[in-house]
Homo-oligomer: A and B are copies of this chain.
């Protein structure tokens, strides 16, 4: 028989009754706050076109690399899930059967945030009340797919139902921003903004660097193969992005390295990059220099700068060759910040006009490097626990290891950082609950009083992300 599925009101709160009672009180005041989602990867075409999502598998399984990395680790192939090989049509896989692979392997996700997020979506969005399993697979597939066809499950309706005050997507400098313009011009009041993510034209080792540069030239009309024209092209596009709401740029480099070359050195380096005669060290130095250039442009245009370093992208060579990037095969790397950021900080670290939000996949730097840096430099703030660490244990470690040195006010609240649109309320709910659980322990241990904790809880859930990302 299918087992009941419920979402407990006290989920993620500490078990101790006294601490739990405090957590409940703190959470009650933040539970209903609007969602501020200043960094993520939803697709703006959803909100521009407002088409119905096709089915459970296409919406919930096929875009979610958290799900298929786990299934793949236990022998399910990407082909079985209907993932197309790069440049190929999708394999002829019945979405109902792909869904069944998730359903019959759902025990693999026990204890993972994916099960927490999905169960939240299943119960709160689709009203399901039995656990997902092989037995209930068809019930799930049919229920979800049927609801998705309804008007109130279209993207804009869900956006409103989810109480999203603002959401940022992420676009490349070669994006036309047509979807954002369409949203802006549609008369719909939902606030969907973009963010400037220039990796493809900044990382000479990116597999699309050369075609991206060609499109960068075309879209900006600048001579992007000259150093000055290249920088001007960035300036132009940053302004374009601001016009559809961008308040931030975002930089996903392998390391946190920054550099501060002389203009002549930078120009010579860029020339090697453009000619394709660069070494691996040149590529690293160019990315490093560009972070400092971007910081300089932020002084001009006010975009907040986000740095997301430390992922070894496409670690699985066979998967990358066959399926391309973003297939659940990115692996975190040990990441150093103290030496890496010094060139940028020496140049701009004390300038109150700049704001840099740091992320990491290497939790060892929370207490050792990031909290001490953010607890000193006026330009630095700490982004929330990220990617693999965007989870109850990961978020708790973030607070435990950063708060004592950086405080709460050098952090920026939560980012959902997801393309899994339906999971956004679940993810923000987890973050709010974990922060309240952390605060409740501090209150119970008489390290902060409950009045202060209540103010901090609202700051973390709502005020800090708005302020840090200039969304006021």
Contact = CB atoms under 8 A, between A and B. Distances in A.
Interface string A438-468: 0001101111110110011000000000000
Contacts of A116: 447
B368 A332 contact: yes
A288 B107 CA distance: 35
Interface string A3-43: 10000101111111111000000000000000000000000
A296 interface: no
B388 A371 contact: yes
A16 to B, nearest CB: 5
Contacts of A369: 331-333
A10 B389 CA distance: 32
A110 B408 contact: yes
Number of identical monomers bound together in the oligomeric complex: 3
A72 B377 CA distance: 7
A317 interface: yes
Interface in A340-363: 342, 345-346, 349-350, 352, 361-363
Nearest to A389: B367
A410 B350 contact: no
Given A368-B363, A369-B332, A111 B404 contact: yes
Interface stretch (A242-250, A298-306, A390-398, A421-429): A390-398
A324 B328 CA distance: 46
A74 B410 contact: yes
A361 B409 CA distance: 23
A87 interface: no
Given A12-B445, A372-B388, A75 B18 contact: no
A283 to B, nearest CB: 17
A362 B365 CA distance: 9
Interface residues of A, number: 93
A401 interface: yes
B16 A15 contact: yes
A13 B15 CA distance: 14
Given A374-B73, A404-B393, A368 B445 contact: no
A400 interface: yes
A69 B139 CA distance: 57
Contacts of A363: 364, 367-368
18 contacts: A12-B445, A12-B447, A14-B15, A15-B445, A17-B18, A70-B375, A70-B407, A73-B378, A108-B407, A110-B407, A315-B338, A315-B376, A316-B376, A317-B346, A334-B336, A363-B368, A367-B388, A394-B404
Given A70-B375, A393-B403, 17 more contacts: A11-B445, A11-B446, A15-B16, A15-B441, A15-B444, A72-B378, A75-B378, A312-B338, A315-B338, A315-B373, A318-B350, A332-B368, A364-B368, A367-B388, A367-B389, A393-B401, A393-B404
User: What 10 A-B pairs are tightest by C-beta distance, nearest first?
Assistant: A11-B446, A8-B446, A15-B444, A391-B404, A111-B403, A69-B376, A332-B368, A15-B19, A317-B346, A331-B372
